[in-house]
Amino acid sequence: MERISHYIGGRIVPGVSGRSGPVYDPATGQETHRVDFASQDEVRGAIATAAAAFPHWRATSLSRRADILFRVRETLHRHRQELAELITAQHGKVVSDAMGEVARGLENVEFACGVPHLLKGAYTEQASTGVDVYSIRQPLGVVAGISPFNFPAMVPMWMFANAIACGNTFVLKPSEKDPAASLRIAELLTEAGVPDGVFNVVQGDRVAVDAILADPDVQAVSFVGSTPVARALQEAATRSGKRVQALAGAKNHMVVLPDADLDMAADAAVSAGFGSAGERCMAISVVVAVGAIGDRLVAAIKERMARVRIGDGRDAGSEMGPLVTREHRDRVAGYLDSGPAQGATLVVDGREDPIARGSGFFLGVSLLDHVTPAMDCYRDEIFGPVLSVVRVQTYEEAIALVNNNPWGNGAAIFTRDGGAARQFQFDVEAGMVGVNVPIPVPVGYYSFGGWKHSLFGDTHIYGPEGIQFYTRGKVVTSRWPDPSTSTVDLGFPRTR
Ligand code: NAD
């Protein structure tokens, strides 16, 4: 069976630990690859390689680094279809959705191409007589990224684009469930001119993560994954003196006020609830129906659900694919038992979809109505194609529900009332807010991050906060008693 290995120092390096894990095609349920699991020594080797590459990369001029990033953007863009197909083959999301993932990831590379501008500091002339003061930002050294299964290309791009643009060298530990995309990205980075050792990939599980956290050469860790792992990782990284940002789980609410455009709200709930089979940290998992709109909204959502085309994702027609593993599919399906047992109404049961009876990890779209905060289907992050509807009578009840939830990644409001939307934006305890937009993932020149149990650490990821995370500031106070030396050069000034 084909193996998926590490990428260290500009080449694929087969694992030697003797440990590996299965990688499945979720559409067929077949094991298609084995992924090597790195030992502590193999992780150390990758970090040592990144550390050795750091001095030269750090000293590489901003214009050269920007030039390489432009080539990275072009190379990844040229291979976007291939990357999307790799994602579909191991994650299960449909190819059109995977193409969207690659495009949203590339936004971060495009942002990082502007690194000369992004790293500009401030300058104060004559702060004291003959004394100038200025600020600069410098890279940290070796930084690491640990990414989740649900965005095997985009989340790594959230991390490495800014990290390497700022002059750091990078070690990525992708999810062991769908590791092929990151390995291909590593090869394409080398092809685009990223020097050997600047971007490395170690495959593996918890052993690799623990080795990264324990390694004194790693200065900062970006993590994206589930809340329990994020919380533990942030604590461990902080204890070992590393800078850390740990983006975590979510339970995103979509509040629908009685005056909302019903069709727009129902379209949005179905798109954002079932896109990528609900395996998005910004998926809508709870619709909060306020007042009289409840029955009509549930009927409109149900009617649209019947038209969702589920398939293996390779054909242009399918809109939703399988879940990532059999175990995950079964866990998600379990809420269709526990929800009704705890008092919810099962409006649509995705287990009855014929595709759910095949060998792939499919579950049909499912809808639970009359869900309450005490139920497991409300309390847990389901991370699958199960949408819950909570009924409330007033805006105040709706906002209290959203704000009492321990997570605060995204939250959306659907209304025609600008004042109500503005009040929601003011009140809501979430890091990313949508007004008639169900999945408000910020564009690459803003930053992404939730509140409360959706993010541990201070800075949000990518965009301006990403630049801040991957650099540290320095303020220089200078005085020059003599003019500096100069040379005669009649050529048109060029960057060097
Ligand atoms: P996960 O926490 O299981 O795994 C994430 C990464 O951590 C993987 O690389 C995995 O190998 C590693 N890992 C898993 N268990 C570990 C352990 N005990 N110790 C050390 N490392 C461990 O998450 P997942 O299932 O891959 O991804 C889905 C989760 O990620 C969901 O909770 C989702 O909401 C969240 N997510 C959040 C965001 C965000 O931006 N907030 C984005 C995407 C996904």
Query: Within this chain, do residues 181 and 122 fall inside the same structural domain, yes or no?
Result: yes
Q: What is the share, in percent, of the chain residues with pLDDT greater than 70? A: 99
Atom of ligand 1 nearest to the CA of 232: 19
Assess contact for 139 and 479: CB atoms under 8 A: no
Which residue is listed with tokens 């939703």?
320
Structurally, the chain folds into a number of domains equal to 2
Atom of ligand 1 nearest to the CA of 210: 20
The region that residue 386 occupies, defined by phi over 0 for left and psi between -120 and 50 for alpha, beta otherwise, is beta
Query: Within this chain, do residues 233 and 270 fall inside the same structural domain, yes or no?
Result: no
Query: What distance in angstroms lies between residue 243's CA and the mean position of ligand 1's atoms?
Result: 18
Atom of ligand 1 nearest to the CA of 250: 34
pLDDT at residue 192 is higher than 90:
yes
In this structure, the strands spanning 386-392 and 366-369 are: parallel
Q: Domain of 134?
A: 3-248+454-476
Would you say residue 443 lies in a domain? Answer: no
| CATH value at residue 214 | 3.40.605.10
Backbone torsions φ then ψ of 415, nearest 5 degrees: -165, 160
If you average pLDDT over residues 87-115, what whole number do you get? 98
User: Closest residue (by CA) to atom 6 of ligand 1?
Assistant: 148
Query: Within this chain, do residues 458 and 341 fall inside the same structural domain, yes or no?
Result: no
Backbone torsions φ then ψ of 307, nearest 5 degrees: -100, 0
Radius of gyration of the chain (CA): 24
Query: Within this chain, do residues 341 and 326 fall inside the same structural domain, yes or no?
Result: yes
Would you say residue 305 lies in a domain? Answer: yes
Query: Within this chain, do residues 267 and 191 fall inside the same structural domain, yes or no?
Result: no
Query: Within this chain, do residues 127 and 141 fall inside the same structural domain, yes or no?
Result: yes
Which residue is listed with tokens 């790195």?
38
Average per-residue pLDDT for the chain: 97
Query: Within this chain, do residues 177 and 114 fall inside the same structural domain, yes or no?
Result: yes
pLDDT band at residue 474 using 50, 70 and 90 as cut-offs: very high
Query: Within this chain, do residues 206 and 286 fall inside the same structural domain, yes or no?
Result: no
Query: What distance in angstroms lies between residue 229's CA and the mean position of ligand 1's atoms?
Result: 7
Q: What would the pLDDT profile of 332-371 be if each residue is shown by its tens digit?
A: 999 999 999 999 999 999 999 999 999 999 999 999 999 9
Query: Within this chain, do residues 268 and 320 fall inside the same structural domain, yes or no?
Result: yes
User: Closest residue (by CA) to atom 34 of ligand 1?
Assistant: 249
Mention every residue, 6+ apart, whose C-beta is less than 8 A from residue 351: 333, 336, 363, 364, 366
Would you say residue 487 lies in a domain? Answer: no
Query: What distance in angstroms lies between residue 145's CA and the mean position of ligand 1's atoms?
Result: 12
Would you say residue 494 lies in a domain? Answer: no
Cβ(281) – ligand 1 distance below 6 Å: yes
Assess contact for 261 and 296: CB atoms under 8 A: no
Give the separation between CA 175 and CA 183, rounded to whole angstroms: 11
Query: Within this chain, do residues 228 and 366 fall inside the same structural domain, yes or no?
Result: no
First-to-last C-alpha distance (Å) of the chain: 48
Query: Within this chain, do residues 230 and 273 fall inside the same structural domain, yes or no?
Result: no
Would you say residue 493 lies in a domain? Answer: no
User: Closest residue (by CA) to atom 23 of ligand 1?
Assistant: 225
Q: What would the pLDDT profile of 272-317 be if each residue is shown by its tens digit?
A: 999 999 999 999 999 999 999 999 999 999 999 999 999 998 888 9
Cβ(147) – ligand 1 distance below 6 Å: yes
Atom of ligand 1 nearest to the CA of 176: 11
Helix runs in 306-442, H state only: 326-341, 376-379, 395-404, 418-427
Would you say residue 442 lies in a domain? Answer: no
Please tell me the predicted confidence (pLDDT) of residue 494.
74
User: Among candidates 451, 450, 423, which has minimal Cα distance to 435?
Assistant: 423
Please tell me the predicted confidence (pLDDT) of residue 495.
65
Q: Which two tokens stand for residue 3?
A: 């193996």
| CATH value at residue 317 | 3.40.309.10
Give the separation between CA 173 and CA 169, rounded to whole angstroms: 14
Side-chain-side CA neighbours of 331 within 13 Å: the count stands at: 12
Give the separation between CA 336 and CA 339, rounded to whole angstroms: 6
Please tell me the predicted confidence (pLDDT) of residue 250.
98
- List Cβ<8 Å contacts ≥24 apart for 363-366: 363/277, 363/322, 363/323, 363/329, 363/332, 363/333, 364/310, 365/270, 365/273, 365/274, 365/305, 365/308, 365/310, 365/320, 366/336
Would you say residue 492 lies in a domain? Answer: no
Side-chain-side CA neighbours of 218 within 13 Å: the count stands at: 31
pLDDT band at residue 484 using 50, 70 and 90 as cut-offs: low
Number of H helices, E strands in the chain: 16, 23
Would you say residue 470 lies in a domain? Answer: yes
Among this protein's residues, is 377 annotated catalytic? no
User: Closest residue (by CA) to atom 16 of ligand 1?
Assistant: 206
Please tell me the predicted confidence (pLDDT) of residue 450.
98
Q: What would the pLDDT profile of 308-343 be if each residue is shown by its tens digit?
A: 999 998 888 999 999 999 999 999 999 999 999 999
Please tell me the predicted confidence (pLDDT) of residue 491.
84
Mention every residue, 6+ apart, whose C-beta is less than 8 A from residue 451: 408, 409, 429, 430, 431
Q: What is the share, in percent, of the chain residues with pLDDT greater than 90? A: 95
Query: Within this chain, do residues 284 and 227 fall inside the same structural domain, yes or no?
Result: no
Query: What distance in angstroms lies between residue 144's CA and the mean position of ligand 1's atoms?
Result: 15
User: Among candidates 133, 38, 114, which has minimal Cα distance to 73?
Assistant: 114
Q: What would the pLDDT profile of 3-22 be if each residue is shown by its tens digit?
A: 999 999 999 999 999 999 99
